[in-house]
Structure 1
């Protein structure tokens, strides 16, 4: 089956007969389900052996899908980053895997998702002749009937999700730009699905990024212009540009290069840096620009002004209303992180961090001059100069910031708010929706005490059939999390449990662990802080940077990483995103665990004691 394809355009269509969908960057895929399940690419290649997590998920949903068969869905197989963006580079790497063990590991730790936007066959009936608006209504019904997510959601562990259809182009576009998505597809409400056709009833708008660069070579056989920027004194190649030139521009440029060349071989004509261009592209993949297009000549620039540092700052689109001031300001002492790097970290980690910040009263620790200045302060009240888009919530006379979105997070980042501390409940909940054990050794030199305590707690939790997660504090200890359903338990309930675990640790190893709050009386033992888990108290947010010299992060861990080799220093602002891209997020299933956590039987026993 050949896909129906959208036409590239640069202007939104006018009129009310259009709907808009997020365009995700992935593998176009058809899900066909009759007696057997198949998932094939636009070129007819089978995908389920490389992405077995999709097969396993669908087979688990077999009873829900049975009344809908035979079924054919059109969608995009993606490595979902957030509700508006997918990671094409990570998907390409996954798509090239052939090792069964590596595929199995990725499927478990970093599963991909099938984002569905059309239904072609339903209960054996051909749906392609129906108008788009009717097909999409049927699609919504399918997802409701099967109990599947009605919108893209990284915090939902279900691997088949619906791409929503929106009426407001500008509103959706603002979200796509803010979240660094690929673009939007506009679909005419009366359009039918036409196999293999590039249609003017579907239009695609791409979220281009722009870079200033210079030409270094011309490829004689195909007319490609190779471009670079300066990285220090060395040339840093960015790829080759072919599209976007007018015929006369392309001819004049080729002639100029031929007349001013610095060298030539069988394939290339080389030229010294001198001709500067502005090029638009989608994203970097393997250090090369994807889909580069010529935008304009930059006769006002010198090649020395086209630097890798400026290019790196332009790689992520910063939304309107957010100004990044002093991007080259150094933030950390021993780890070379500038303000622009810090902002980029927040932008890239946001899809993992924001679900924990959302709908919670926020306390930040700000470092106005970075770690070099040593002038840190807690900020709870929202300052008067905060922009209008910042949401706040009043509690106990304090007007707290509520960081619900990326725009707020980036604004806080520009204020050099490095640490993000949150309570154990949301604004709307009546009690805690998680239990956290803060394992605080007397110093970093005693970190292995935290490791030992965490592993002992894990043994108990496993025996009680409680699902737990663990992260570093980013400072000197570890924190064990037990997610709970919303509005089911009080702090008195959770105190029964935290007291029980703390007493268990102390009774097992009284020379190693203590519940003594006075530091001077702890005698070098690890403090099991169960009192901290209470209303009004806070904990460092997962993935939050810390105000340490080495830019460490409150890093979620896989339980098998908690051993004698574990080190706080291994998890930093400079490597956290790469770690998640490589291994997946250890907290990926955190929110889906809440509703299945079997805490009631444990609490029932504790109440009888």
Structure 2
């Protein structure tokens, strides 16, 4: 077993023809040893990770025959739980690393699957490559992927659990990607370098995507030598982290002397000081409301400590593109919730990795609330004349629709106070429906359990038909069931035959509970099964879109085991969703991966024959 070659941290970026650059993903460094009769995933510290990441080992076992001609094989890479094409989720991989229970590990591997992002090839067909130059190894690695017809680009939605990290020769362009997507940083690699096992080399450099903000000192820990810092949050001092790195010897001594001179209390372990001493710190990100890897930047002697606020810190998050100015960030939006415009846009930015795939390349209709829940709302289909140049559009039926493909557009729409995002059942490139959606609409929120009952009946039907289904709340009063479909394969006429058949089955099996009657006055207290809504030009609320209702409830993807008598729309307000994703993962994580596996054609043939 080899020890990995490690990059050296630097603030000086090496530039020149001898250097190329890779995105740095935040995960666990590991080396995969794959022979004809054994697969071992080994951590940087020499620990076997097979049981911790069963999804990767299972994928390798299923791919054993494909890889057989290339074994033995040794791959170097990073184990990550991807949040987007360019960013891995540090918190989720940390959670996985702490799990010990096999059942929990299996559940997490299904709900929050990890990918092994490979950046180096150390052995191929039993031939040791560590004595070859890095660029030669990298080219052979890409050729390996291509020869096996494997995807050669990072794709969080792909169930190919071994993926390839590519390099870029232009530092400026890759750094732009890093900063816009809040990636961890960049690894610079010298093209003619050789493998140096177990060594922290100067042929590989890591350049981290540091953020900067100003904090005030709250004290000094005599035991470990760390300075504690805080911000003002809700008019109270909130401790947000501690640092030691980055200070020169004279800076450390000067800071410590000021703290001693102004200490309000002192124990054998700690010096406490009132807010007043302000410092600028580098940090990677906020992790559980604490600074991750803070490091000293400079003293801010002219800064008023009262200006070091939680709102400024959160508002400075790199998730929100720096060239979009948030107007009136403190504006309250809900009468019954302390949610500001800044909070709402922070929500959109945080949930964007899970929401954007459903908005991508779709004609977007939004409902805008210029005054939040305090005023009138209106539908917007046409892109307004004042929209910035980066907003993409597409024409359809005389309307110039916005296409929300990226975070920048999503944040801009949030700044326009677009609450509800409604999307059609196909993309602008589709020749037919991209999915089937059943909208289960009870007469009121009080009859929500009717939607639960209908959903469970449909789940049993779809399981018997071997169809893969997903479920989400509407964010209002009902549930919606999704059946993803392969692109360009079916027509709305064909899916209409299926949806009508299913709706008829449901209403005839329980006619006192369910109806397809479109007129509300004729429904009584029955749940409306809206199969007519699934048609070309019609829309449905997008996953993770907040609704314009009291309570700020979100159209939330669910795991099927959550659909029971305890389920309620009120369980999913806006302020709870990001924590829910971090704890449970996204129930729609595999949605796009199963599109081509959906066995819908045999079901359709049966319907046409009957």
* TM-score calculated relative to the size of structure 2: 0.96
Aligned to 1:394: 395
Q: Counterparts of 2:292 and 2:521 in 1: how far apart (Å)? A: 59
Aligned to 1:581: 582
The correspondence of residues 95-134 of structure 1 with structure 2, limited to 5 A, is 95-134=97-136
Q: How far off is 1:229 after superposition?
A: 1.8
> Is the Cα contact below 8 Å between 1:155 and 1:355 reproduced in 2?
no
Q: How far off is 1:233 after superposition?
A: 4.5
Aligned to 2:95: 93
Q: Counterparts of 1:93 and 1:176 in 2: how far apart (Å)? A: 24
After TM superposition, the structure 1 stretch with the greater mean CA deviation from structure 2, 94-103 or 195-204, is 195-204
Give 3-state SS (helix, strand or coil) of 1:129's partner. Answer: coil
Q: Counterparts of 1:395 and 1:601 in 2: how far apart (Å)? A: 33
Q: How far off is 1:395 after superposition?
A: 1.2
Instruction: Pick the aligned partner of 1:177 from 179, 192, 214.
Output: 179
Aligned to 2:291: 289
Instruction: Pick the aligned partner of 2:61 from 59, 69, 83.
Output: 59
Distance 1:451 1:290, change over 3 A: same
> Is the Cα contact below 8 Å between 1:149 and 1:160 reproduced in 2?
no
Aligned to 1:596: 597
Q: Counterparts of 2:531 and 2:258 in 1: how far apart (Å)? A: 73
Give 3-state SS (helix, strand or coil) of 1:142's partner. Answer: helix
Q: How far off is 1:194 after superposition?
A: 1.7
Q: Counterparts of 2:243 and 2:453 in 1: how far apart (Å)? A: 56
Unaligned runs of 5+ in 1: none
Aligned to 2:78: 76
The correspondence of residues 426-505 of structure 1 with structure 2, limited to 5 A, is 426-505=427-506
Q: Counterparts of 1:454 and 1:144 in 2: how far apart (Å)? A: 43
Q: Counterparts of 1:573 and 1:152 in 2: how far apart (Å)? A: 30
Aligned to 2:195: 193
Unaligned runs of 5+ in 2: none
> Is the Cα contact below 8 Å between 1:148 and 1:160 reproduced in 2?
no
Paired residue total: 608
Instruction: Pick the aligned partner of 1:363 from 362, 365, 369.
Output: 365
> Is the Cα contact below 8 Å between 1:513 and 1:528 reproduced in 2?
yes
Aligned to 1:4: 5
After TM superposition, the structure 1 stretch with the greater mean CA deviation from structure 2, 544-553 or 163-172, is 163-172
Give 3-state SS (helix, strand or coil) of 2:528's partner. Answer: strand
Which deviations, in whole Å up to 9, do the C-alpha atoms of 1:550-600 show, x marking residues without a partner? 111111111111111111111121111111111111111111111111111
Aligned to 1:40: 42
> Is the Cα contact below 8 Å between 2:9 and 2:205 reproduced in 1?
yes
> Is the Cα contact below 8 Å between 1:32 and 1:73 reproduced in 2?
yes
Give 3-state SS (helix, strand or coil) of 2:168's partner. Answer: coil
Q: How far off is 1:317 after superposition?
A: 4.1
Q: How far off is 1:275 after superposition?
A: 0.6
> Is the Cα contact below 8 Å between 1:157 and 1:588 reproduced in 2?
no
Q: Counterparts of 2:316 and 2:279 in 1: how far apart (Å)? A: 15
Q: Counterparts of 1:109 and 1:576 in 2: how far apart (Å)? A: 16
> Is the Cα contact below 8 Å between 1:382 and 1:392 reproduced in 2?
yes
Q: Counterparts of 1:63 and 1:478 in 2: how far apart (Å)? A: 42
Distance 1:569 1:146, change over 3 A: farther
Give 3-state SS (helix, strand or coil) of 1:141's partner. Answer: helix
Aligned to 1:265: 267
The correspondence of residues 302-341 of structure 1 with structure 2, limited to 5 A, is 302-341=304-343
Q: Counterparts of 2:526 and 2:224 in 1: how far apart (Å)? A: 70
Q: Counterparts of 1:603 and 1:68 in 2: how far apart (Å)? A: 41
Q: How far off is 1:147 after superposition?
A: 4.3
After TM superposition, the structure 1 stretch with the greater mean CA deviation from structure 2, 596-605 or 261-270, is 261-270
Aligned to 2:519: 518
- Establish whether residue 381 from structure 1 lines up as the match of residue 382 from structure 2: yes
Q: How far off is 1:239 after superposition?
A: 2.2
Q: Counterparts of 1:450 and 1:233 in 2: how far apart (Å)? A: 44
Give 3-state SS (helix, strand or coil) of 1:384's partner. Answer: coil
Distance 1:358 1:233, change over 3 A: closer
Distance 1:223 1:455, change over 3 A: closer
Q: Counterparts of 2:18 and 2:383 in 1: how far apart (Å)? A: 42
